[in-house]
């Protein structure tokens, strides 16, 4: 083999050396610049995010901390053991937190308000305290008076269209000019039934749908078309003034009827116990109850089980009320006295922990001439003005279970007072400790579609259809019968086991929020029917506007730069809102199963949600602009180092190409 020795051109060698030096310089430059931009810099602010443990709230905090770090804000995530956060806390030593709000009662009523006195009524929000949306919230904002005015006008505006316009303006004001929150997510409910179950109307709920439900044949694993089988957690007690957990509320809905029924957008209907009403004066309504409605038997079911005889008022023990009265299903007729008594109890503080929901009631009484009619008088917001201003969301608070006066009332002559000072007799503070009231907590009865048959803790609760129900469907107001004779509620703590039971045909109805992959498979399976609706939980990021940097004195310092005319604190809160990637949080934490929303009124209140409100979609550039407008110099931005490195890489690649080209020429 002949080997040819290659000679080295000194000029070429110098070019290689220069090229190599350039490569090294570019690499060092990229690393050095990236380090100088990204590291060893002081943050603009150090903030505290605090929440309670459990669930995904700490995960929210960790992701938010990551996003804010990109605009120079360090966020320390702290987890405390408060059972209800942030509503029951000793010290407000944090800047950000998460609140999950639910039970908006179908009305936006963003104030969740209270009458504090009957002459000059002030509005507060017990639910969200300092960080809330209430009438007295945002006192440190320059827009406090405008906020108060809009809410005041909204809750007293009777025309629905005008009220929506007012609330739209309020939503825009809160999100654009005050910016105390970043709305995050609402949940949604996915319910699945076997396709042979006909008549379920998901927007109206299971209980109101039951008179319309029937089976079109048997599905696999099903043994009877007269029975509906569902799963739930253990219920605790049926005291209507204390219950708040969903299993308790659902069971009470089966057994009782509300004073006023509401439709699927939470407006009052004439399809329930109250069949009509009239407005006699601006602040005076008269309500008319249906004729010939009776209380279900006051069964005592404590000792009953699956082998007990069928419910029968002759053979099944009946509970006795405080006046030694009971109901056998045909002897106790529902009258206006029951409605008035129920509302008096609901508005009495030592009976009902949430009596402040009824501060709008000025007076209530049974009609002198008609035992099926009662009169309701509403407080005038400001009696010094000519116009009568009444609290419009009062309709939703009438959607409470109707209670039997004959059972709960006593013959005591002691005078009691409601929260607004209405006097009545028969109730005292110790009455809730009587045997009758205690027994009702475990053996409730009402005038509803179903009666409690028996309940075995941690196993099953069985309900039987009531032959005494008055037979009017809440959805359409027409005569209806119950094709489903019994409802079986099984206690299945493990959701995977519940799904397995459903797929085996042992349950007829299931919620599928935790099984997105299974839900997708079921969607293409003709054996199942899927119902997708909004849930009723709204998750917010809340700012403590009394803290420095995000509030405090900066709530009063105005900035005017690049067309931005806001306070310094609002500009900071806007920047933080833009820096948070809600889409990524939803994807990673919730598997895209939640719904992003943008307003203080949740999007599940479709009638009231303002879709054109200002939106804080993820935009680091906008976040930086707002921080700079507030007078802060961002120590680093996530985009800048990568741009710098990209430029260096481009120069490096160009150098290598030139070097490679010269080498090819040399070989030739």
Going from N- to C-terminal start, the domains of the chain cover 10-40+640-667, 45-186+536-635, 240-448
Name residues of the chain where pLDDT drops below 70. 1-40, 82-91, 102-136, 382, 636-668
% of the chain exceeding 70 in pLDDT: 82
- pLDDT value, residue 113: 36
What number of other Cβ atoms are within 10 A of residue 3's Cβ?
A: 5
Cα→Cα distances 417→359, 364, 422, 429, Å: 12, 12, 5, 11
Number of H helices, E strands in the chain: 16, 21
**Which position has the token pair 């005008």?**
162
Q: Residues 444, 449, 453, 455: what is their CA dihedral angle, to the nearest 10 degrees?
A: -60
Q: What is the pLDDT of residue 26?
A: 47
Prior bond of 86 cis (ω within 30°): yes
pLDDT at 498: 95
| Tokens read off for 409 | 């009332």
Is residue 592 a contact partner of residue 586, using CB atoms and an 8 Å limit? yes
- Retrieve residue 370's tokens: 């008609």
> Is pTM, for the whole model, over 0.75?
yes
Q: Which residues, including other chains, have CB under 8 Å from residue 363's CB and lie 6 or more apart? A: 375, 376, 377, 422
Q: Are 346 and 376 in contact (CB under 8 A)?
A: no
CATH code of the domain occupying 240-448: 3.90.76.10
């Amino acid at each position: 083999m002949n080997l040819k020795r290659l000679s080295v051109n000194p000029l070429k060698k110098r070019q290689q050396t220069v090229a190599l030096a350039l490569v090294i310089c570019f690499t060092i430059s990229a690393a050095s610049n990236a380090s100088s931009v990204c590291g060893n810099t002081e943050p603009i602010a150090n903030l505290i995010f605090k929440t309670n443990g459990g669930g995904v709230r700490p995960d929210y905090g960790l992701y938010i901390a990551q996003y804010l770090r990109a605009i120079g804000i360090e966020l320390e995530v702290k987890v405390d053991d408060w059972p209800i956060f942030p509503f029951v806390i000793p010290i407000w030593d944090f800047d950000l937190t998460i609140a999950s709000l639910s039970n908006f009662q179908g009305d936006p009523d963003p104030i969740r308000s209270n009458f504090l006195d009957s002459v000059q009524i002030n509005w507060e929000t017990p639910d969200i305290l300092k960080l809330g949306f209430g009438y007295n919230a945002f006192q440190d904002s320059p827009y406090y008076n405008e906020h108060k005015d809009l809410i005041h006008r909204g809750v007293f505006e009777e025309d629905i269209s005008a009220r929506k316009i007012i609330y739209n303006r309020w939503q825009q004001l809160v999100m654009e000019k005050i910016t105390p929150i970043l709305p995050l997510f609402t949940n949604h409910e996915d319910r699945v039934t076997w396709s042979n179950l006909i008549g379920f109307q998901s927007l109206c709920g299971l209980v109101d749908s039951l008179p319309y439900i029937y089976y079109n044949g048997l599905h696999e694993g099903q043994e009877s078309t007269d029975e509906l089988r569902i799963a739930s957690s253990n219920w605790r007690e049926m005291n209507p003034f204390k219950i708040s957990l969903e299993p308790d509320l659902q069971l009470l809905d089966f057994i009782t009827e509300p004073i006023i029924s509401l439709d699927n957008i939470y407006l009052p209907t004439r399809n329930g116990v109250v069949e009509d009403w009239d407005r006699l004066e601006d602040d005076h309504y008269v309500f008319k109850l249906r004729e010939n409605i009776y209380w279900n038997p006051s069964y005592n079911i404590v000792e009953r089980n699956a082998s007990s005889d069928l419910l029968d008022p002759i053979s099944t023990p009946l509970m006795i009320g405080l006046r030694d009265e009971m109901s056998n299903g045909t002897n106790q007729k529902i009258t206006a006295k029951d409605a008035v008594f129920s509302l008096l109890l609901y508005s009495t503080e030592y009976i009902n922990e949430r009596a402040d929901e009824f501060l709008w009631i000025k007076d209530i009484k049974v009609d002198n001439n008609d035992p099926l009619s009662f009169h309701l008088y509403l407080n005038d917001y400001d009696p010094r003005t000519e116009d009568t201003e009444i609290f419009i969301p009062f309709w939703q608070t009438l959607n409470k279970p109707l209670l039997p006066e004959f059972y709960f009332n006593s013959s005591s002559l002691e005078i009691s007072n409601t929260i607004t000072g209405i006097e009545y007799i028969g109730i005292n503070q110790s009455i809730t400790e009587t045997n009758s009231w205690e027994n009702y907590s475990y053996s409730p009865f009402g005038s509803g579609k179903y009666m409690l048959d028996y309940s075995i803790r941690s196993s099953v609760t069985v309900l039987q259809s009531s032959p005494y129900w008055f037979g009017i469907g809440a959805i359409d107001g027409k005569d209806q019968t119950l094709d489903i004779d019994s409802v079986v509620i099984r206690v299945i703590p493990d959701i995977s086991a519940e799904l397995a039971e459903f797929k085996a045909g042992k349950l007829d109805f299931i919620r599928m929020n935790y099984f997105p992959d299974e839900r997708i498979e079921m969607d293409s399976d003709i054996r199942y029917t899927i119902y997708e609706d909004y849930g009723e939980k709204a998750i917010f990021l809340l700012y403590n506007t009394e803290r420095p940097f995000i509030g405090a004195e900066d709530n009063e310092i105005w900035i005017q730069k690049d067309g931005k005319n806001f306070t310094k604190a609002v500009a900071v809160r806007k920047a933080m809102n833009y820096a948070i990637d809600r889409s990524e949080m939803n994807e990673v934490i919730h598997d895209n199963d939640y719904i992003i929303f943008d307003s203080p009124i949740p999007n599940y209140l479709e009638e009231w949600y303002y879709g054109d409100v200002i939106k804080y979609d993820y935009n680091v550039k906008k976040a930086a602009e707002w921080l700079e407008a507030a007078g802060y110099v961002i120590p680093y931005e996530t985009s800048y180092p990568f741009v710098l490195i990209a430029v260096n890489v481009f120069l490096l690649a160009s150098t290598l190409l030139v070097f490679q080209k010269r080498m090819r020429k040399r070989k030739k």
